[in-house]
Amino acid sequence: MSYHIAVAGKGGTGKTTFSAMLIKYLLNKGRRPILAVDADPNANLGEALGVEPETTIADLISETQDRLEPLPGGMAKETYIEYRIQAALAESKDVDLLVMGGPEGAGCYCYPNNLLRKYMERLHTNYPYVVMDNEAGLEHLSRRTTNDVDLLIVVSDPTVRGVRSAGRINELVDGIKLDVKRRFLVISKATAEPEGTLAEEIARTGLPLAGIVPLDPAVTEYDFNGRPLVELPGDSLVARAVTEILDRILA
Ligand SMILES: Nc1ncnc2c1ncn2[C@@H]1O[C@H](COP(=O)(O)OP(=O)(O)O)[C@@H](O)[C@H]1O
Ligand SMILES: [Mg+2]
């Protein structure tokens, strides 16, 4: 059984930064190999991890759509899709990355989707840890046939609007009947401990606050220069904060 961690939040809140630091944390603890899934249409987890996938699942869907019949050499459809997914898997030492891409069009992707889902879920079982970087609508999580998530981290920036959005994501999780074992809120890019209206809004989400990740100039610098965030030093503000949070909740 793999341990499935999902990171969610509004765009720009720091999901990918948190996901990358989470992956760095797991690697440091020897919890490997990890399957990283970028399920945000605005995909940038690969850059944060320093891994470049050749293709996305969305591209693969539209491509297989066009050529489901006939397949090369009379290959079974299922075999072909498995083979293509394998090609979409960007492999690096201890971390493999799948990028969902998209958004999916309105066309009928039902057939490849079912096969894709089946194969992707089988892929998950090859890894003891799966880390999924999601968009706010949880589109891909809601499409899975299995609905279990061991740990959900909702990331928000330190604004009332951001925290309200995190609260809505928490409600959405119940709405789409995801079986989430544990869920937490993380306030990212914080410049102070949350207090006053912000603290009240945090309490209203119903999500326990796992901790805050400070605004770290090193993240800005790495992003500015296109350096992978996993290469941030272990004593950087962001790495220390994420380590402290995860030591606590994954103990
Ligand atoms: N802890 C942090 N300190 C400083 N900047 C951050 C931090 N977390 C995220 N950022 C910046 O905020 C922006 C959005 O972060 P990102 O992780 O890509 O968000 P998301 O994946 O939610 O869209 C990026 O420019 C990133 O550099
Ligand atoms: Mg992102």
Whole-model pTM: value is: 0.93
Cβ atoms of 40 and 138 within 8 Å: the answer is no
3-state secondary structure the chain: CCEEEEEEECCCCCHHHHHHHHHHHHHHCCCCCEEEEEECCCCCHHHHHCCCCCCCHHHHHHHHHHHCCCCHHHCCHHHHHHHHHHHHCEECCCEEEEECCCCCCCCCCHHHHHHHHHHHHHHHCCCCEEEEEECCCCHHHHHCCCCEEEEEEEEECCCHHHHHHHHHHHHHHHHCCCEEEEEEEEEEEECCCCCHHHHHHHHHCCCCEEEEEECCHHHHHHHHCCCCHHHCCCCCHHHHHHHHHHHHHCC
Q: Which atom of ligand 1 is nearest to the CA of 20?
A: 17
> From the CA of 42, which ligand is nearest?
2
- 3-50+88-101+119-249 belongs to which CATH class? alpha beta
Residue 152 CA to ligand 1 center (angstroms) comes to 18
Point out which residues pair with 4 in neighbouring strands: 130
pLDDT at 71: 67
Q: Which atom of ligand 1 is nearest to the CA of 216?
A: 3
Residue 14 CA to ligand 1 center (angstroms) comes to 4
Contacts 24+ apart (CB under 8 A), 242-245: 242/18, 242/21, 242/22, 242/24, 242/25, 242/213, 243/25, 244/211, 245/186, 245/210, 245/211, 245/213
pLDDT at 70: 64
**Going by CA atoms, what residue is nearest to atom 8 of ligand 1?**
14
Domain parsing of the chain, residue ranges: 3-50+88-101+119-249
The residue whose CB lies within 8 Å of the most ligand 1 atoms, and thus the one to mutate among 24, 189, 212, is 189
> From the CA of 232, which ligand is nearest?
1
pLDDT in tens, 40-77: 888 899 999 999 888 888 887 777 666 656 666 777 77
Q: Which regions in the chain score pLDDT beneath 50?
A: 106-109
Q: Which residues line ligand 1 (CB under 6 A)?
A: 9, 11-17, 44, 188-189, 213, 215-216, 219-220, 223, 238
pLDDT at 82: 82
Tokens read off for 166:
């995190």
pLDDT at 98: 92
pLDDT at 66: 63
The residue whose CB lies within 8 Å of the most ligand 1 atoms, and thus the one to mutate among 154, 219, 243, is 219
pLDDT at 106: 46
> From the CA of 40, which ligand is nearest?
2
pLDDT at 58: 81
The residue whose CB lies within 8 Å of the most ligand 1 atoms, and thus the one to mutate among 15, 37, 99, 223, is 223
Q: Which atom of ligand 1 is nearest to the CA of 133?
A: 21
